[in-house]
Chain A
Amino acid sequence: MTTLWPRIEPLLAKVQKPARYIGCEDGAQAPVHAPHKVAWLLAYPDAYEIGLPNQGLQILYEILNERADAVAERSYAPWVDMEALMRERGVPLFSVDTHRPAAEFDLLAFNLSAELVYTNLVNCIDLAGVPVRAADRGPEHLLVAAGGHCAFNPEPLADFVDLFVIGDGEEVVADITEVVREWKASGRTLGSRERVLHELALVQGVYVPSMYDVSYEGERLVAVTPRYADVPERVEKRTISDLNDWPYPKNQLVPLTEVVHDRLNVEIFRGCTRGCRFCQAGMITRPVRERSSAQVRTMVSRGLERTGYDEVSLTSLSSADYSGIEDVVGGIVNDPVCQGSVGVSLPSLRVDAYTVGIASEIAKVRRTGLTFAPEGGTWRMRQVINKLIREEDLYGAAESAFSQGWQRMKLYFLIGLPTETDEDVLGIAELARRCVSIGREHTNRVTVSTSVGGFVPKPQTPFQWFGQDTVGELSRKVNLLRDAVRRDRGVALKWHDPRATLAEGIASRGDRRLGPVIEHVWRAGGTFQEWSEHFDVRLWEDAMATQGLSTDWYVHRHRAEDEVLPWDHLSAGLHKDFLWQDWQEALRAGGLEDCRWTPCYDCGACTGFGIEHVVAATTPPAGGSQGTGQDLGVAGSSVPVAFRSGTGKRRQGAAFLTQNGVGVGA
């Protein structure tokens, strides 16, 4: 076994947080490599303490290591101090499990959850000793893969990544393993790299940029066309139909050192159909697939028993929407095995008094923070973004929270949204102020922490056509808010750096011409760009200027209906005309109800894949669709909802699309 540990250990005394590099987590594996096994190095291109808790990476780590023909280890971006020492001593990127050099793996697979990590991805490839540009790689080099939400617009990274995975990874990693296993067995002969990439391009959910030609007319993107007849014109995402088939992670990693989200995480459902128009996650992960409450309970109790954690997070895009959330939460809080000492956290809470009711049940054990995301400052704005929370809902939540002993609450908002006026921006201050005065009726020490982020339009959403606000405009709006709340001591205003929002915007909707920009920023030392102490907007501006690209054109320009978008050849299942109609509806400030409990709008996510929403109950959660129970008077055809009964009745396997003989097991 090749281990770099004797060369790594002497560096550890010289770096901050050396425990980032030792592995040894409870649940870590020491897989045995062999010539007939495909070796995956699963990499998170950010610091260990951010990447370790990532559930997507942990799920694939377990699934791959359960296979007889694969091994998987993990790697994280070394912090700048460690990277400097590694480069000085010639130590390459390594796995934290067995401290094996990255070059000894067959695949280096990245999880991409944010655009500002793109330069870290390039840096990790370089540290692995692999040419950063895919075109410069030969049969002796590993394959560079990437998946995660950002893969829904992979074009800015097309120069660096050999293959992208679009959608859920649970099944597709098996298909990729099989193709790569054959390549490995064939001895990776000269010219074989092109062949294996071609074969991978035929796997559903896999996008291989080098199999496509891109043509431009001036600034305009004209077409992205496959180079071979059998390569699909449009790559469809992979979707697992039933979350209950995938009760992972079974052995969640318990780190020895401090990380974010340091608790047990159990995913209770995937997908969200609230239809918030700014939310990429909600659009690309449809349809809703709930885990049965019995499986949730088992995963929670087994997980707590094994890990020794005293807190569990029930994760999803809107956890209060889970059918029977009260029973699940109550079951954990009152479970005698938990000795009444297990805290529950629910990320992404809906804004209403009902939700606070659940939170106060949880507070019997431990009082956690209350965070709500109204996102928009006025009802008109919230109709535009389809986050249909009324003022009464928010004030009801505030009343309920402060009357039950909370003294702080957090509110999240976006600025720079489509059709936004100064009145909408100032509405944020008004909402925050009213929450403070509601709280003052119960306590003198009220804090309403109000965070404001600049909106970045995301691919595969109804807002993909919208021109992002400039740094100047975002700064002006932040200043409006600062002035408005200056004399309100209870309102603590925080805002995201508008310059970081600009850099995110460059990468978010870019095309392949962004590759040299990312490389330029990386070569200029721009790693860890999502860390404010390392972020430097000048690197991005310089890079754009050097490449002769216009920030206005890429970031601030409204797109036209007939424009070819750089991600049009990748499908999240959503029809482009559905997104366009929803965009037009947004401009008219028209709301759209959650399709879980209303007729179908034919977005394409269910029908296109022959799958359905899987919910544990056919009735909407208390509080109604969108949490407000409003009748928006929209109608469509009947909704394909599969009802999962309490007796564990299995949904019939849906007919899956198969492509080029690669079956997608149901």
Chain B
Amino acid sequence: VRVRFRYSKLGKVRWTSHRDMARMWERAFRRTHLPLAYSQGFSPRPKVSFGLALPTGGESLGAPSLQHEVTSCAWAVWVADVEHEELGDLASAAVAAEELFLARERKGHTTTEDVRPGLLACTVEGDSLRCELATQPRALRPSELLRALRPDLEAALIRRTHQWIERDGARAEPLALLLEATGAPHVHGRAS
């Protein structure tokens, strides 16, 4: 049986890494005596897979383990040292831009790429930017978006609010889709 979990990562624990989360879940499963499938070999590990890695320091609402199917993520981004009025300008400049060039490193090489296609939406809500960023072909991170907009911008807090899957041209939340298919009850737990 394969079980899917959806969890949030909020508060101080956002400073733990993706790998830290994996270890936490392993211990949590053992504490609850959930019978897990183990890999074979000298050092058997439980068979658990995780969703899209969240940058260390980022918060997350509803992280499921469907790495390959997620096509975009919605983020709330609180920008450091930026006045409220300035936020609106940033959002409109981002959406208005035809190209957004960014130097990124990959396998030791630095390439300059246009990341504008990865920006699907950007608005202001309250005191944060709300943006939807593509995860395919290469995921655009909120910190990268800020850097592309203005090199001195830094995030004070980022929170991943949704992960989206495209099904038949429409956007849907992955676990909701699954739940519809299986009729399983809705589970929403806090990891912190």
A positions within 8 Å CB-CB of B = 5, 10, 12-13, 18-19, 21-24, 254, 256-258, 305-310, 341, 366-367
Contact = CB atoms under 8 A, between A and B. Distances in A.
Nearest to A257: B20
Given A22-B15, A254-B27, A257-B17, 17 more contacts: A5-B12, A10-B80, A12-B15, A13-B57, A18-B56, A18-B57, A19-B17, A22-B13, A22-B16, A23-B12, A24-B12, A24-B192, A257-B16, A258-B23, A308-B27, A308-B28, A367-B42
Contacts of B44: 341, 366
Contacts of A310: 30
B20 A258 contact: yes
B31 A308 contact: yes
B19 to A, nearest CB: 7
Tell which of A5, A10, A257, A307 has the most Cβ of chain B within 10 Å. A257
Nearest to A337: B33
Contacts of A341: 38, 44
A308 B31 CA distance: 5
Nearest to A363: B42
B26 interface: yes
B29 interface: yes
A367 B43 contact: yes
A486 to B, nearest CB: 31
Contacts of A13: 57, 154-155
Contacts of B20: 19, 256-258
Contacts of B28: 308
Given A19-B17, A258-B19, A307 B27 contact: yes
Given A341-B38, A367-B43, A308 B13 contact: no
22 contacts: A5-B12, A10-B80, A12-B57, A13-B154, A13-B155, A18-B57, A19-B56, A21-B15, A22-B12, A22-B15, A23-B12, A24-B12, A256-B13, A256-B20, A257-B16, A258-B19, A258-B20, A258-B23, A307-B31, A308-B27, A310-B30, A341-B44
A517 B12 CA distance: 40
Interface string B1-33: 000000000001101110110011011111100
A24 B26 CA distance: 17
A21 B19 CA distance: 17
The 3 closest A-B pairs by CB, nearest first: A308-B27, A308-B31, A18-B15
Interface of B: 12-13, 15-17, 19-20, 23-24, 26-31, 38, 42-44, 56-57, 80, 154-156, 192
Contacts of B13: 22, 24, 256
Nearest to A338: B30
* A interface, over-half SS: loop
Contacts of B43: 366-367
Contacts of A256: 13, 16, 20, 24
A377 B35 CA distance: 49
Contacts of A21: 15
Contact of B156 (A10, A23, A305, A307): A10
A21 B15 CA distance: 9
Contacts of B15: 12, 18-19, 21-22
A24 B21 CA distance: 13
Contacts of B29: 308
B31 to A, nearest CB: 4
A305 B29 CA distance: 11
A305 to B, nearest CB: 7
Nearest to A5: B12
Contacts of B154: 13
A305 B30 CA distance: 8
A254 B25 CA distance: 13
A21 B57 CA distance: 12
B80 to A, nearest CB: 7
A23 B17 CA distance: 14
Given A24-B192, A257-B17, A306 B57 contact: no
A305 B192 CA distance: 20
A234 to B, nearest CB: 47
Contacts of A24: 12-13, 192
Contacts of B26: 308
B31 A306 contact: yes
A252 to B, nearest CB: 12
A10 B24 CA distance: 25
A306 B155 CA distance: 37
A192 B29 CA distance: 54
Contacts of B12: 5, 22-24
Nearest to A96: B12
A36 to B, nearest CB: 29
Contacts of A258: 19-20, 23
Nearest to B58: A13
A305 B31 contact: yes
A309 B27 contact: yes
Contacts of B30: 308-310
Contacts of B17: 19, 257
Contacts of A367: 42-43
Tell which of A21, A256, A306 has the most Cβ of chain B within 10 Å. A256
A225 to B, nearest CB: 51
Contacts of A306: 31
A88 to B, nearest CB: 16
A201 B43 CA distance: 52
A295 B156 CA distance: 48
Nearest to B158: A13
A111 B192 CA distance: 29
Nearest to A16: B56
A13 B17 CA distance: 12
Contacts of B192: 24
A12 B13 CA distance: 12
Tell which of B15, B17, B44, B192 has the most Cβ of chain A within 10 Å. B15
Contacts of B38: 341
A23 B31 CA distance: 21
Nearest to A342: B30
Contacts of B155: 13
Nearest to A255: B20
Nearest to B38: A341
A310 B27 CA distance: 8
Nearest to B157: A9
Contacts of B23: 258
Contacts of A19: 15-17, 20, 56
A65 to B, nearest CB: 20
A529 B30 CA distance: 38
A256 B26 CA distance: 12
A344 B10 CA distance: 34
